[in-house]
Amino acid sequence: MSGNKTCRRIGRRTFEYISRPSVAGAGSVAGEMEGQGPQAEWFDVVLNDDRMGQATWEKAESKMLGTAVEYAMKDAGVSRRDVDAILCGDLLNQLMASSFMARDLAVPFLGVYGACSTMTESMLLGGALVDGGYCRTVITGASSHFSTAERQFRMPLEHGNQRALSAQWTATAAGALVISSEQDSHMRLTHATIGRIVDPGIMDSSCMGAAMAPAAFHTIQNHLRDLGRKPLDYDLILTGDLGSIGRRILVDFSERGSKLPHLSEVYDDCGAMMYDVSRQDVHAGGSGCGCSGSIIAGRICKEMREGKIRRAMLVSTGALMSTISTQQGESIPGIAHAVTVEYV
């Protein structure tokens, strides 16, 4: 029975996309503050009103994700009818932004939750659906909005409080990709690693970078080991939202004892890239699913299609705590999923 099956597993944790699904289109939207940061030129849309003319912040986030999806479809030259499934997620309870976006789009929908790791989680799954022949064209994406995340995870917007210096700023941003076996593109998915949860025991929810760095290390190390590669075999290894603190921890930990030698030469982090910390009061950088979502769908896709990046490992990172788990005395579990994309 298993004779026809092609095993795609490589090593312990990695698998290969044999048909090399293409990233046929990308769309990215960023909020006002993100539009004043160093990544501004790469976004398809920069909002001048984070509310997008909507009655609530949640509706605004939904619309923002919908806009990213629209741009991705336009970029790929596909219409709604060509899309077999859309896989996306956000940070809100019951994936409110994604579900309501998908309701309006009326395309088969799979909600994906991986906290801020959602972008590569949805890419990994969407790529597998296409590679396995279960879908021809899928859309994958993720969004986050400062004003919806604040109210769900922290304090009301108008409350006068001080954020910890290690805290990160939830990016108002969304990214979407069209992954397809029908469309040709220079950017292809080649390999992926599903991360496992690594919980280093951080209790403080304003230290997310430190909570997620070990998971990122674990996933990157497994991905490289399974493929027999070293960091320098990549043009770019990009984590999701470790921020400036988590970024330094990952580099220090990886290069100490040469566990991942020369990582810092090819490494960057979307959270650390999103804002100009000298001008923007974001403390340890950006976070949120939209942070890596919009930078992957913005800068990374554009640079890869131009051939400036030939091989990149995208590793969105997530902190899988809930609003009540920290109150119940649980530590913060970290996760990271890796997808390697190549210029073909």
Partner 1 sequence: MKYNQYADGFSPAPTCLKNCLLAFLTGGAICETGHLIRAAVMSAGADAETAGMWTTVALICTAQLITGLGWYNTLGRIGGAGAAVPITGFANSVVSPALEYKKEGIILGTGAKIFSLSGPVLAVGFSVSAAAGILYKLLGLL
CA 139 to chain centre: 14
Question: Taking CB under 8 A as the rule, does residue 159 contact partner 1?
Answer: yes
Q: 166 or 325, CB closer to partner 1?
A: 166
Would you list the DSSP string of 298-309?
IIIHHHHHTTS-
Nearest CA to 112 out of 100, 126, 133 is that of 126
The residue within the footprint of partner 1, chosen from 81, 158, 184, 257 (CB under 8 A), is 158
| Contact status: 213 vs partner 1 (CB under 8 A) | yes
Q: Which of 336, 31, 26 is closest to 197 using CA atoms?
A: 336
Q: How far apart are CA 25 and CA 263, in angstroms?
A: 29
Contact between 201 and partner 1 by CB under 8 A: the answer reads yes
Contact (CB, 8 A) for 27 and 71:
yes
Residue number with CB closer to partner 1 (3 or 201): 201
Nearer to partner 1, 184 or 281 (CB): 281
Question: Nearer Cβ to partner 1, position 41 or 49?
Answer: 49
53 versus 201: smaller Cβ distance to partner 1:
201
**With CB under 8 A as the contact rule, which of the stretches 29-37, 117-125, 161-169, 318-326 interacts with partner 1?**
161-169
Number of other residues whose CB lies within 10 A of the CB of residue 151: 15
By CB under 8 A, name the one of 2, 162, 278, 328 that touches partner 1: 162
> Is 214 one of the binding residues for partner 1 (CB under 8 A)?
yes
For residue 288, which phi and psi values (nearest 5 degrees)?
A: 100, 150
CB of 284 to partner 1, least distance (A): 8
Pairing mode, strands 22-30 and 45-46: parallel
Q: Minimum distance from CB of 227 to partner 1 (Å)?
A: 27
CB of 156 to partner 1, least distance (A): 4
Nearest to 177 by CA among 292, 91, 264: 292
Q: Which of 194, 202, 260, 270 binds partner 1 (CB under 8 A)?
A: 202
55 counts as binding partner 1 under rule CB under 8 A: yes
Any contact of residue 157 with partner 1 (CB under 8 A)?
yes
In b/e form, how buried is each residue of 180-204, taking b as 16+ CB within 10 angstroms? bbebebebbbbbbbbbeebbeebee
Instruction: Give the number of residues in contact with partner 1, rule: CB under 8 A.
Output: 26
Site for partner 1 in 264-323 (CB under 8 A): 281
Site string for partner 1, 80-119 (x = CB under 8 A): ----------------------------------------
Single residue of 151, 225, 229, 302 touching partner 1 by CB under 8 A: 151
**Residues paired with 29 in a beta bridge:** 45, 174
Q: Which of 237, 231, 226, 230 is nearest to 296 (CA)?
A: 237
Q: Which is nearer to partner 1, 182 or 204 (CB)?
A: 204
Q: Which of 216, 255, 119 is nearest to 208 (CA)?
A: 216
Shortest distance, CB of residue 57 to partner 1, whole angstroms?
8
- 324 near partner 1, judged by CB under 8 A: no
Among 78, 86, 102, 210, binds partner 1 (CB under 8 A): 210
If 0-12 CB within 10 Å is exposed, 13-18 middle and 19+ buried, where does residue 328 land? exposed
Q: Pattern 242-261, binding to partner 1, x per CB under 8 A?
A: ---x--xx--x---------
3-state DSSP percent of the chain in helix, strand and coil, to 5? 40, 25, 40
Which residues here bind partner 1, judged by CB under 8 A?
55-56, 151, 155-163, 165-166, 200-202, 207, 210, 213-214, 245, 248-249, 252, 281
